[in-house]
Amino acid sequence: MMDWFLRAGNSFPAWEGRQIPRKCGASAAHIPPIFPESRCRYRAKTHDSPTDAHLRRTPCRRTSIVGAAAVQQGTILTAAIAEAIPNRAKLAGRWQVPSFLVGGAIFAAAIFQMQRNHQPLTFEDHLHRVRLLQDARAFTRLNAYLLHLLQDGQRPVNERAELHRLLAGTIHAAEVQGTSHKSENVQSIITHFDRAAALGAKPNGADWTALGDAYLWMNRTSDAAGAYRHALRIGISAPDEVLRRLVQIQSPAGGELSPESSADIERLLATENARPANYRWAVERRAT
């Protein structure tokens, strides 16, 4: 009875390709259909009886069919993926072109709108910036800004004359703060003053005072005295400083006062709001 049951069990079909048939000599354990032939041959060699030797050469047909089907399905899936990749790349390329065109159009429209709203600076705007830098005593930045404006070859002559005049005053304001002076900076004061005058600028008293200081720093005392006299004729805010320099040039300390120097001292003493140090110096110098 038991032998009949075992022979009947060998004819039962395997479920889902996972049950190993009895003919393979395996137990009822569930083995995946991966590498079915090797597993079945191994079990046939180790568990089959000598009477089933012919089964050692017989692979598991059912599990082999399941493995072949899995390989076939994998091949079909790989082919489908390979076919989908070019289509996706082609679709992406089609979307990139219109996106690029739309982005370029938006960028061009923004640049055009910025150009319409842009208002170029006038010369008065530049002068306003110059005054702000002068008030901040940012002489290095001011010097660079004026030189940049002078690089414009299309700038009118009157504007160039004003820029040269401002540049001479800027260099003088930076140099007057120190006790020693660079010769190239002193020469730049004279050069820019001369260029401004040649282009039609009208220097004021402060400009002539700066020119006189530049000549004095170069030991050109006669030129310095002439520039100081011109500044006094035009009018300056602090005449007592210039009068003291004139007296020191014309009548050095320890010598007699010339008639011109005596007149300058009297003018200094009569100056309103003269600095106390200059007033005291004039009194002492007149007494000697």
Per-residue model confidence (pLDDT) at position 253: 79
pLDDT digit string, tens, across residues 206-250: 999 999 999 999 999 999 999 999 999 999 988 999 999 999 999
What is the DSSP track for the chain? -HHHHHHHHHTSPPSTTTBPPGGGT--S-B--SSSHHHHHHHHHHHHS-GGGGGGGG---HHHHHHHHHHHHHHHHHHHHHHHHHHHHHHHHHHHHHHHHHHHHHHHHHHHHHHHHH--PPPHHHHHHHHHHHHHTT-HHHHHHHHHHHHT-TTS-HHHHHHHHHHHHHHHHHHHTTSSS--HHHHHHHHHHHHHHHHTT----HHHHHHHHHHHHHTT-HHHHHHHHHHHHHH--S-HHHHHHHHHHHHS-TTSPPPHHHHHHHHHHHT-TT--HHHHHHHHHHHH-
Per-residue model confidence (pLDDT) at position 117: 61
What average pLDDT does this structure show over 176-182? 88
Per-residue model confidence (pLDDT) at position 10: 47
pLDDT digit string, tens, across residues 25-80: 444 444 454 444 444 444 444 444 444 444 444 444 444 554 555 555 556 555 55
